[in-house]
Structure 1
Amino acid sequence: MIWALVAADLFGTGFARSALGMEQREFDYFALALQWPGTICSSTRHCCAANGCCRSEPLHTFTIHGLWPDYDDGTWPSCCRHTNFDMDKISPLMPILEKYWPSLYCSSSSTCFSGRGPFWAHEWEKHGTCSSPVVQEELQYFSTALDLYFKYNVMEMLASGDIQISDDKKYPLRDVIDTIKDAFGASPQIICKKGSIEELRLCFTKDLEPRDCLTTSAMSKTLTKEKHCPRYITLPTYDPIVFSNSTGEVFTEANNNGIYIYTA
């Protein structure tokens, strides 16, 4: 097995190719980053209406973190165009975004050009603006990510290898990788937290076809041992802490809506 490290979006822009405002070359490939709520939401201590972890029914599927344009050398572009996020532009997608692309935190997200804002604003301004020429505008960015998410259903891939959600069941990391590779046609990246999957990434060419995710040892200095995936990993569940002050309307909507990185 080949073990590799890659910098996550969670760790800031330390490996971004260029500083904000400087010209950045065209990206090489996309990474569709997916989060496992069972790992992230188990650490939730305080709730708010915007946090998907606080819904009355726990999330039992991978949710989208973002669609990230990356470079083959292990770096990535960020904040490429000065275009502020506009919620109105993605209003047709709101029900599906709430369900499959929720924030799993209460704090507002940093943005490139407008300070702080919704989770979606962060993803569009930091990553979506660097997705040209494949993706040109905001609605297309979110639509493209959702299309890939549904076309390449990771839960179905895992089920094909009899890998299920469980608090006590541990699966060989190699089996998880091979199951996804057989179904997807390319090697994913997996990020762990305390032995549980925290994030899983599927990678795509600029033609949106599956490709192996990048393996590089150049990123090893940015990550801690807490991100290492052991030989056996879990897909845990969690008990939600429901936001007590939320309205019935909010939760009706929610209920209808859920590194050590190994690369084979």
Structure 2
Amino acid sequence: MPTLQNPALGRTRALAPPEGLPLLGRCLVMGILNVTPDSFSDGGLYADTGHAIDRGLELAAQGADIVDVGGESTRPGARPVCLDEELARTVPVVRELARAGVWVSVDTMHAPVARAAVEAGARMVNDVSGGLADPGMARTVAEAGVPYVAMHWRAPSREMDRHADYGDVVADVIAELGARLRQLTGMGVDPSRIALDPGLGFSKRPEHDWTLLAGLERLRTLGFPLMVGASRKRFIGAALAEGGVGEMPPARRDVATAAVSALAAVGGAFCVRVHDVRASLDAVRMAAAYVEHVDCT
């Protein structure tokens, strides 16, 4: 299958971020801000607008390069919310964080929410559906001219687990993301502003997640920057289970998440998306130091 090549990317060990994002010499850290009542690990903690703004400022103070504001849970089994509700949850938070100088991304599958968030100050769109949930997303992102993260996605949250069927999961994800890239760029999205996310946990079983994490080098053959969102996900909880029984609860997965962030950074990811910013920031700094040492030997 022919691949699209992004002309903005150099021949670096880790692919550069999409155009419009800072070059810091290390993997970027995106802090998660769920403005929802039902997200899998922190639902309801920041559903109040004031609390959400305070949390976003706290994430930035902890070192988050980007704060990702989302108003609709995408956990397995989650039900969609209406556009008016998603707009009411996200736009005021985006606006106030942007006014405070925070680099804000909006986590949404819906073009009207993306458009309103960008108008309010969001500087990137993070779409877990890669444009499949809303046919208008590609045009919206193209017109906005902001960086766009397209994630591998097969089905809505309420049915995603029924679609976790792969031959070679890395090859299948490459093929499906390649098809999305052709459609997105064909609809006018600037390839230099596109990043990809392999979608850990979305229509994936734990063994698929680990295989994708180990296969980042193969995923990078698509020629686009990769973001990895592993924070507190089921495959981490399963790996931490005592004696292989049950799962470690989400709130106790942050140290392990930081370890995965380091692995992703060494694998060439340009960004990791996490709940606990401090731990993963330390982890990606260590990864950068490691890679620099390896490159010098």
Structure (1 or 2) with the greater strand fraction: 1
Normalising by structure 1, we get a TM-score of 0.29
Looking at both structures, which has the greater relative contact order when contacts are Cα pairs under 8 Å and sequence separation is at least 6?
1
- Structure with the largest fraction of helix: 2
TM-score between the two structures when normalised by the length of structure 2? 0.27
